[in-house]
Amino acid sequence: MKVSIIGAGRVGATAAFLLIERGLCEELVIVDVNRDKAVGEAMDLKHGSAAQKRVRVIGTDNYALVKNSNITVITAGIPRKSDESRLDLAKKNAELIKEITRNVVAHTSGMILVVSNPVDLMTYLAVKESGLNERKIFGLGTMLDTLRFKSILTDLYLDSDDVYIIGEHGDSMVPVLSGVKDIDMDKYLNLIEGVRRVAADVIRLKGATFYAPAVAIVEVVEAIVKDKKQTMPISVYHDEYDICISNLVSVGCDGIRRADIRLSTDEKERFLKSARIIEKEIKKLKD
């Protein structure tokens, strides 16, 4: 299994470390415009991998080395500031993501996982730019929000097994709670505000979020590598809206497939409202 990561920043480097630790790849390529940073990260990772099975790790600024990658993870982009919404990043990162996508698809037809924010908009641009089958290119979406929500619920000893966040990776995120039995709906819904705030809190306190995003990335990659057919909230292209937005999908070695999970009437309405927000932002990008 060959995995490439575009972006040698803290999210990309931490994800690379976890991929090696979990034994999910035999070859790992890290691409960054800062070649020295990419090479240095690769050297450090390679030294550590010697304690386990040998992994070929390459750091480079040359996209040709992503050739034949089974999965490429795009983490590159301008980072979010604590007082900045994910949607504020859109115009800053748009041209960069389109350029990266062109460079990746020139050398591999493998799957692409978009992580760069705002992830729904960047995934949309990557889908349109790549020309790939929509089952093979998708975004991290609300996978990270779901992990954050589960973390809050676990701290409060509340059931988190069948809880997901779908919709926008942003303020209009939608909790999916209909799979949880005997639930106090108001209690769960009140906790969503904490999920919306927590990323900004972490950024304010330590400057950036990277451990949790890296775990979310590796969870998706592992589902692909091990063909888990696992239900995950992933940002995917919806042709009925012409947007990318997180929905529940099955993730396996052949990419993503829509999961057969029924939403409540309230969840459907919240999802449509979230979709309209993303739709407006995509129109702004096109102007």
Residues assigned a catalytic role: 169
Give residue 120's Cα distance to chain centre. 9
Cβ–Cβ under 8 Å, residues 199 and 171: no
Q: Which helix (H) or strand (E) segment is 188 a member of? A: helix 185-190
Q: How far apart are CA 77 and CA 92, in angstroms?
A: 8
List the structure tokens of 262: 């029924």
Q: How far is CA 29 from CA 67, 89, 107, 132, 235, in A?
A: 10, 26, 13, 21, 24
Q: Any idea how long the chain is?
A: 287
- Burial code (b: 16+ CB inside 10 Å, e: under 16) for 37-46 equals bbbbbbeebb
Residues 6+ apart with CB under 8 A from 230: 223, 250, 251, 252
Amino acid at 64: A
Distance CA 85, CA 103 (A): 28
